[in-house]
Amino acid sequence: MAGGNDEVESLKCAVVEAGKAMHEAGLATATWGNISALTRDRRIMVITPSGFDKSRLNPHDMIVMDLNGAVIDGRHKPSIEAPMHLEIYKSLEHVYAIVHTHSPMATAVGVAGEEIPPIILEMVAEIGDRIPLAEYACAGTRRLGRALVEVLRSANAAIMRNHGVIAVGPSLKAALARAILVEEAARIFIAAKILGKIEPIPDDEIKLFKAVIGEWKTIQRIQNISEWIKELKSIGAENQED
Ligand SMILES: [Zn+2]
């Protein structure tokens, strides 16, 4: 099998684990939502079956498909959203895992027809300058996948209008963490709206934060924190006179 049997078997286990974690994080409502992962050669997708509680999945329940949508292995029906997952994998080459939830707070933001502006730093670091709102399209269609591809070109997660959340990543761990973060950001967004107005992080501060994160990633090891302070001065994140 393309992708290798061992790799496919380990992806099945990883999807099962992600399903349990999604359930524990309160992101799964009944049997709604679905999860998939792609082999490194981008030829085989492992996806959750239709109509299953995400806390009770087993590796042998998983559906194995090629990117044309043909079922290679699996004794159940694939998720109704398989065309959406396939459309995303075919269009976005950096994506190897997709988590789709109907988590309630983020779905509420989508029902209100809003996107989430940059309100917290972890959102900017993990998802993008905003959590965009994807146009409504019917569940189970490739059209829904195409609407999501549009917004996922500039963000690692999106709110799906009157539907739920999509989060993508290079691994299931990353996609799941982002799905959790979307729900957290939505909760903060709604709470802040109740308290008063939303004050997003200013554009220049977002730029600076990204530069700081970028510098941090390039440094392998720091022996003394003063070395880090020097790095920050070099990108203007610390006042020279400090
Ligand atoms: Zn859905």
In a domain, 215, yes or no: yes
d(CA 26, CA 102): 10
pTM: 0.93
Half-sphere exposure of 218 (CA within 13 A, CB side): 8
Q: And the tokens for 25?
A: 């994080």
- Tally of domains within the chain: 2
Looking at the structure, do residues 135 and 224 belong to the same domain, yes or no? no
pLDDT at 1 over 70: no
Residues 185-207 have a mean pLDDT of: 95
Beta carbons within 10 angstroms of residue 100's beta carbon: 28
Best CA proximity match to 126, nearest among 91, 170, 89: 170
The answer to whether 159 and 130 are in contact (CB under 8 A) is no
93 vs 32: which has the higher pLDDT: 93
Sign of dihedral through CA atoms 156, 83, 27, 95? negative
Q: Taking a C-beta distance cutoff of 8 angstroms, is the pair 33, 102 a contact?
A: yes
Average pLDDT for 172-188? 97
For the chain, what is the mean pLDDT?
Answer: 94
Do 90 and 207 fall into the same domain? no
DSSP code of 27?
-
For 32-70, how does the pLDDT look when each residue is reduced to its tens digit (9 = 90+)? 899 999 999 999 999 999 999 999 999 999 999 999 999
Which CATH number fits the domain that encloses residue 180?
A: 3.40.225.10
Judge if 136 and 227 occupy the same domain: no
Task: Specify the pLDDT at position 17.
Answer: 97
Least confident of 5-19, 73-87, 120-134, 219-233: 219-233
161 in the same domain as 126: yes
Identify whether the C-beta of residue 72 lies closer than 8 Å to the C-beta of residue 37: no
* Å from CA of 86 to ligand 1 middle: 15
The tokens for 83 are 């065309």
Is residue 241, in this structure, part of any structural domain at all? no
Whether residue 221 sits in one domain with residue 128: no
Q: Note whether 123 and 230 are same-domain residues.
A: no
Give yes or no for a contact between 11 and 72, defined as CB atoms under 8 angstroms apart. Answer: no
- Alpha-carbon distance of 234 to 222, in angstroms, equals 16
From 130, 149, 126, 146, select the one nearest 138 (Cα to Cα). 146
Both 191 and 209 in a single domain? no
Centre of ligand 1 to C-alpha 99, Å, is 10
Give domain status of residue 137, yes or no: yes
Q: Given phi > 0 = left and psi -120 to 50 = alpha, else beta, which region is 26? A: left
Residue 163 resides in a domain: yes
**Owning domain of residue 24:** 5-195
Same domain membership, residue 103 and residue 70: yes
State whether 183 and 134 are in the same domain. yes
Active-site annotation, residues: 81
The per-residue pLDDT for 86 is 97
Beta pairing class for 71-73 and 97-101 = unpaired
Does residue 240 belong to any structural domain of this protein? no
| Dist. CA 121 → ligand 1 center (Å) | 27
- 100 Cα to the center of ligand 1, angstroms: 7
Give the lowest-confidence range in 15-24, 193-202, 220-229: 220-229
Tokens 């992962």 belong to residue: 37
Residue 180 shares a structural domain with residue 226: no
d(Cα 206, Cα 188) in Å, to the nearest integer?
18
- Asked whether residue 93 is domain-assigned, the answer is yes
Q: Find the length of the chain.
A: 242
Q: 125 and 217 in one domain?
A: no
Q: Which two tokens stand for residue 197?
A: 């107005």
220 in any annotated domain: yes
Q: CA 21, CA 23: separation in Å to the nearest integer?
A: 5
| Residue 185 and residue 111 share a domain | yes
The three-class DSSP label of residue 49 is: strand
